[in-house]
């Protein structure tokens, strides 16, 4: 049943996961009503295979993604590139056009017997995972916090360094608390507390990169431990929204600070698949933003978006190593559940929308929704940066400052100057 079977840990793990304090097996939910995985018709797996073949062809062209702050120097308070530079970049619009074509085609197929067959095939493949979805997510959260405890010297993510041993032990405590419904709220409080404590050493704008994911994981733990079925039914919705916002927000770095990525693509030129870096970077940003956006859309769109993102993240492990795998572990675990979710009727938005807007799931709703997401998040990113650091900086006036000291592990940047604040 588990990969560690035969290692001598099976009785202990089974006791932890199956005791009376662990929630029962879960079913997919549509807000409040359960939604069991549906068995497909005899041709479902064949149509699913055909769909995966087409998806695989598209994934071949997608870039491996790594969070740039983990592997290259950066200066958070430097002025971002003007948004007009992105809006006048032909490769940005080329990427948007390709994504819209993919989304519209997927929506069209989703309504046909082929789409229903693909989803039924996905249901059958992922049913064993979905039946233990809460166990899977809690084990993933626990394993993540054990891993960063073992690494030591970091808050929640690889680029947030700390000298405090207490922080590392607190993260081990969080890992221990996720296996009981009684202590899951304690783990949730610990995650939020660590984010707040990190404000002592890091700028708020920097920590916004990790706010949506942290809140989503904490919300999942609280809702999953609740005895109120109305709240429990929304735990995976909260998780999905959190990772979607986190991915869309982090993708904006590729438009605001394309030069942060230059050391990586120069050191590992194969990442660009032969494309010039100034073509690759904006299109990679579009891919990350729109796939995050896709997690909020219709069932087939979000499931295929999750599969595509998983392929990208796993591809990045080879060139960037264990740090990338550990750093993205929580997002990847949640993506597995998004891909496995058999619900057909769940909406991206749980509130009633004005009648003047395109109906959710219609073809017209795709460009409208993507435009709204871009306007809101781009305005927030550039606007908050201006609020925190002021608009008087010029892009060329960057200090010689890096969060990564010059070393064999991080060969890209200069030695951080000791008189400057090195954590941003």
SS3 letters for 58-123?
HHCCCCCCCCHHHCCCCCCCCCCCCHHHHHCCHHHHHHHHHHHHHHHHHHHHHCCHHHHHHHHHHH
C-alpha–C-alpha distance, residues 38 and 47, integer Å: 15
C-alpha–C-alpha distance, residues 225 and 141, integer Å: 14
- State the number of CA atoms in the 13 A half-sphere of 176 facing the CB: 7
Provide the CA 207 distance to its chain's centre, in angstroms. 15
Q: Which residue has the tokens 């592990």?
A: 409
Report yes or no on 209 lying in a domain.
yes
Report yes or no on 246 lying in a domain.
yes
CA distances from residue 276 to 74, 91, 247, 279, 422 in whole angstroms, order as listed: 21, 11, 24, 5, 31
Report yes or no on 30 lying in a domain.
no
Report yes or no on 227 lying in a domain.
yes
Output the pLDDT for position 321: 77
Backbone angles phi, psi at 180, to 5 degrees: -130, 140
Residues 6+ apart with CB under 8 A from 35: 27, 28, 29, 342, 343, 344, 345, 346
Tell me 5's DSSP state.
Answer: T
User: Which H or E run includes 33?
Assistant: strand 33-35
State whether residue 409 is helix, strand or coil. Answer: coil
Q: Which residue has the tokens 């588990």?
A: 2
Report yes or no on 366 lying in a domain.
yes
Across the strands, what pairs with 33?
30
Mark 27-44 as b/e (b = at least 16 C-beta within 10 Å). bbbeeeeebebeebeeeb
Report yes or no on 404 lying in a domain.
no
Enter the tokens of residue 271.
Answer: 């990442």
User: Which H or E run includes 276?
Assistant: none
Report yes or no on 4 lying in a domain.
no
Q: What is the pTM of this model?
A: 0.76
Structural domain range at position 322:
39-389
C-alpha–C-alpha distance, residues 395 and 73, integer Å: 16
C-alpha–C-alpha distance, residues 351 and 71, integer Å: 40
Output the pLDDT for position 160: 86
| pLDDT mean for each 10 residues of the chain (424 residues) | 41 42 39 40 43 39 52 77 92 93 91 90 93 95 93 85 91 94 95 93 90 95 93 93 95 90 81 84 92 92 94 84 84 95 65 54 81 95 90 45 39 37 43
Q: Which residue has the tokens 């082929």?
A: 114
Cα–Cα nearest to 339, from 144, 127, 134:
127
Report yes or no on 232 lying in a domain.
yes
User: Which H or E run includes 124?
Assistant: helix 113-130
User: Which H or E run includes 56?
Assistant: helix 44-59
Q: Which residue has the tokens 């948007």?
A: 96
**What number of helices (H) and strands (E) belong to the chain?**
19, 2
Domain count, the chain: 1
Mark 64-100 as b/e (b = at least 16 C-beta within 10 Å). bbbbbbbbbbbbbbbbbeeeeebeebebbeebbebbe
Torsion of CA 105, 111, 112, 116, to 10 degrees: 110
């Amino acid at each position: 049943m588990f990969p560690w079977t035969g290692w001598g840990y099976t009785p202990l793990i089974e006791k932890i996961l199956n005791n009376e304090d662990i929630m029962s097996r879960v079913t997919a939910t549509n807000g409040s009503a359960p939604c069991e995985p549906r068995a497909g018709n005899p041709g479902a797996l064949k149509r699913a295979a055909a769909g995966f073949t087409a998806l695989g062809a598209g994934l071949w062209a997608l870039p491996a993604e790594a969070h740039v702050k983990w592997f290259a120097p950066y200066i958070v308070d430097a002025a971002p590139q003007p948004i007009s530079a992105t809006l006048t970049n032909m490769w940005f619009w080329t990427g948007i056009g390709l994504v819209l074509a993919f989304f519209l085609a997927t929506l069209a197929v989703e309504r046909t017997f082929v789409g229903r067959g693909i989803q039924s095939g996905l249901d059958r493949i992922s049913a064993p995972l979905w039946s233990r979805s809460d166990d899977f997510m809690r084990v993933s959260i626990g394993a993540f916090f054990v891993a960063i405890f073992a690494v030591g010297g970091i808050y929640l993510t690889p680029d947030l360094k700390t000298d405090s041993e207490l922080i590392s032990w607190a993260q081990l405590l969080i890992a221990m608390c996720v296996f009981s419904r009684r202590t899951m709220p304690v783990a949730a409080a610990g995650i939020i507390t660590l984010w707040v404590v990190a404000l002592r050493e890091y700028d708020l704008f920097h920590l916004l990169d990790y706010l949506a994911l942290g809140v989503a994981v904490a919300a999942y733990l609280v809702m999953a431990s609740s005895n109120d079925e109305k709240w429990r039914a929304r735990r995976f919705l909260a998780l999905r929204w959190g990772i979607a916002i986190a991915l869309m927000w982090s993708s904006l770095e590729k438009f605001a600070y394309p030069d942060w990525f230059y050391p990586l693509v120069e050191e590992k030129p194969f990442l660009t698949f032969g494309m010039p870096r100034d073509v690759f970077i904006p299109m990679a940003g579009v891919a990350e933003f729109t796939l995050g956006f896709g997690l909020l859309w219709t069932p087939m769109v979000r499931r295929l978006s999750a599969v595509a993102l998983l392929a990208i993240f796993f591809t990045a492990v080879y060139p960037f190593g264990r740090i990338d795998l550990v750093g993205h572990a929580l997002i990847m675990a949640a993506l597995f559940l998004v891909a496995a979710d058999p619900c057909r009727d769940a909406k991206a938005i749980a509130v009633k929308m004005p009648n003047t807007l395109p109906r959710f799931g219609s073809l017209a709703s795709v460009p409208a929704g993507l435009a709204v997401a871009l306007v809101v998040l781009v305005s927030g990113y550039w606007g908050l940066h201006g609020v925190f650091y002021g608009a008087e900086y010029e892009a060329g006036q960057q200090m010689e400052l890096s969060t990564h000291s010059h070393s064999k592990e991080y060969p890209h940047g200069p030695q951080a100057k000791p008189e400057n604040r090195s954590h941003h």
